């Protein structure tokens, strides 16, 4: 972004959505939801059965059961108490109240399908605000039929919910930037910060996005006073939304824990002598054994909970390895970058010829058009930059931790919006 970014020229000239537009949007969302539920049924029948394919799903399921039963928020009896953030388990918990102690997994998949569909609506509204009606429909159609978002809608993981919350945060942040008065601007920024907190309580790695993006805006954007006011509102909302979790964690661990006590394990997952860029938690039992021995020998500080000490041990081991092997850590970062932005799935089990063709044929055009849209809007103001900043942020995060194409899909929503804006503008010129 240049130092002299002009104020955004968006939205004020874009008319409000009419009832006819909203009715057609409802139809599009119904189609998107139908596709996702059909995909979920197919996935469960042909691939997953009545089980989880990803190991993380079991932990969310267990914690959701604990919430529904009014039990302590811990992973197993007397297990880790800061193992996951509570956002996604809290959304799964009603399934246990509706269906009883053993809900059908397909119900959770349908819930993911709903959130994946909400992400389509988010792309539509964000594109409308930034580019107008034609771009909104292009973005909505692209998001509705994009295989990456459809695939997320079948999984019992945090990504579908995160995909729904991310465009909401960007939409509120854009509205704050475009608002006419300081009071309205501050209130919208506060709401965007609360949305960021909700997204973080679902997906902990999102915690630093607000300070990351706000710092870029303050460093390169104009006017800085507007950026500063909005950043203050965003940080206030983020802190307010996270504060109950922080206070609870401080009570449990005796320390400030911003998200979970899995950050050390996640960091070692990405930075260790046997790291490949993919996730492999096989090392965890080894560290548990080391910490148990330290505990028995009196070397451990028993005032700290076991999970806190284990987290710090793995974090320190990851940092030490990266410090001693900087060239290997950099090569791993490149491997992870390729894994994140690969043109087809990295896992052989999900990389048949038909799947590769489907992913490449849809992902590559959207990516290239999104990058072109980012370049085209580079001088049009802050709300446009917000559409590609998630891609930059998530890439930087996951070249440190582990890489997977599943981690890029939330960022694709902003790129889809930019792609739609560019296509709408270019097609409009051709018609004239």
Cis upstream peptide for 128 (omega within 30°): no
Q: Looking at residue 12, what is its pLDDT?
A: 43
6 pLDDT higher than 60: no
- What is the average per-residue pLDDT within 243-271? 97
Q: What is the mean pLDDT of residues 329-339?
A: 97
Q: How much is the pLDDT for 391?
A: 98
Averaged pLDDT for residues 256-281? 96
319 or 2: which leads in pLDDT: 319
The pLDDT value recorded for residue 180 is: 87
pLDDT per position as a tens digit, 23-33: 999 999 999 99
Give the pLDDT of residue 50. Answer: 65
For residue 8, what pLDDT is reported?
40
pLDDT in tens, 51-86: 787 889 999 999 999 999 999 999 987 789 999 999
Cα 399-221-410 angle, rounded to 5 deg: 35
What is the rounded CA–CA span in Å between residue 138 and residue 14?
16
Phi, psi of 75 (to 5 degrees): -85, 90
Examine the pLDDT at 14 and tell me if it is beyond 70. no
Region of poorest pLDDT, from 121-125, 219-223, 247-251, 348-352: 348-352
The b/e string for 200-225 (b: 16+ C-beta within 10 A; e otherwise) is bbbbbbbbebbebbbebbeebbbeee
DSSP assignment of 2-25 equals -TTPPPP--STTSPPPPHHHHHHH
- What is the pLDDT at residue 11? 46
DSSP states of 380-399 as a string? Answer: S-HHHHHHHHHHHHHHHHHT
pLDDT in tens, 203-242: 999 999 999 999 999 999 889 999 999 999 999 999 999 9
Q: Is there a contact between 319 and 270 (Cβ–Cβ < 8 Å)? A: no
Percent of the chain with pLDDT over 90: 83
What does the domain layout of the chain look like in residue ranges? 19-427
Mean pLDDT score, 4-9: 39
Give residue 389's pLDDT: 98
pLDDT in tens, 260-269: 999 999 999 9
Residue 15 confidence (pLDDT): 66
Whose tokens are 């992902």? That residue is 363
Q: pLDDT-derived band of residue 48, with 50, 70 and 90 as boundaries?
A: low
Residue 429: per-residue pLDDT? 59
Which pLDDT score, from 0 to 100, does residue 5 have?
37
Q: What is the pLDDT of residue 432?
A: 38
Q: Return the pLDDT at 210.
A: 98
Spatial CB neighbours of 127, under 8 Å, sequence gap ≥ 6: 135, 136, 138, 139, 140, 417, 420, 421
């Amino acid at each position: 972004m240049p130092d002299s970014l002009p104020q955004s020229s968006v939205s004020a000239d874009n008319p409000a959505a009419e009832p006819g537009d909203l009715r057609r949007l409802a139809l599009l969302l119904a189609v998107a939801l139908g596709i996702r539920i059909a995909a979920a049924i197919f996935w469960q029948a042909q691939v997953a059965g009545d089980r989880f394919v990803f190991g993380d799903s079991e932990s969310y399921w267990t914690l959701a059961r604990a919430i529904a039963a009014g039990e302590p928020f811990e992973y197993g009896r007397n297990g880790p108490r800061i193992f996951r953030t509570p956002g996604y388990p809290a959304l799964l918990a009603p399934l246990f109240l509706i269906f009883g102690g053993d809900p059908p997994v397909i119900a959770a998949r349908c819930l993911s399908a709903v959130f994946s569909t909400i992400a389509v609506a988010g792309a539509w509204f964000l594109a409308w605000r930034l580019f107008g009606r034609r771009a909104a429909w292009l973005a909505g159609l692209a998001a509705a039929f994009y295989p990456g978002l459809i695939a997320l809608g079948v999984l019992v993981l945090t990504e579908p919910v995160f995909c729904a919350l991310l465009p909401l945060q960007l939409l509120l942040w854009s509205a704050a930037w475009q608002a006419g008065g300081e009071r309205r601007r501050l209130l919208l920024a506060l709401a965007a910060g609360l949305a960021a907190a909700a997204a973080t309580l679902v997906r902990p790695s999102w915690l630093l996005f607000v300070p990351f993006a706000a710092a870029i805006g303050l460093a390169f954007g104009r006017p800085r006073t507007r950026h500063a006011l909005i950043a203050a509102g965003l940080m206030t909302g983020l802190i307010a939304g996270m504060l109950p979790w922080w206070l609870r964690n401080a009570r449990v661990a005796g320390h400030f824990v911003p998200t979970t006590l899995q950050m050390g394990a996640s960091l070692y997952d990405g930075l260790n002598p046997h790291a490949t860029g993919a996730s492999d938690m096989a090392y965890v039992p080894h560290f548990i054994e080391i910490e148990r021995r330290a505990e028995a020998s009196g070397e451990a500080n028993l005032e700290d909970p076991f999970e806190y000490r284990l987290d710090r041990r793995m974090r320190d081991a990851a940092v030490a390895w990266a410090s001693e092997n900087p060239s290997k850590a950099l090569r791993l970062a490149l491997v992870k970058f390729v894994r994140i932005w690969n043109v087809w799935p990295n896992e052989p089990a999900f990389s048949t010829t038909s799947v590769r063709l489907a992913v490449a044929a849809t992902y590559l055009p959207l990516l290239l058009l999104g990058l072109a849209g980012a370049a085209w809007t580079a001088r049009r103001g802050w709300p446009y930059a917000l559409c590609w900043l998630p891609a930059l942020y998530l890439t930087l995060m996951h070249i440190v931790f582990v890489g997977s194409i599943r981690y890029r899909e939330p960022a694709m929503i902003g790129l889809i919006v930019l792609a739609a804006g560019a296509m709408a503008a270019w097609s409009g010129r051709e018609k004239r």
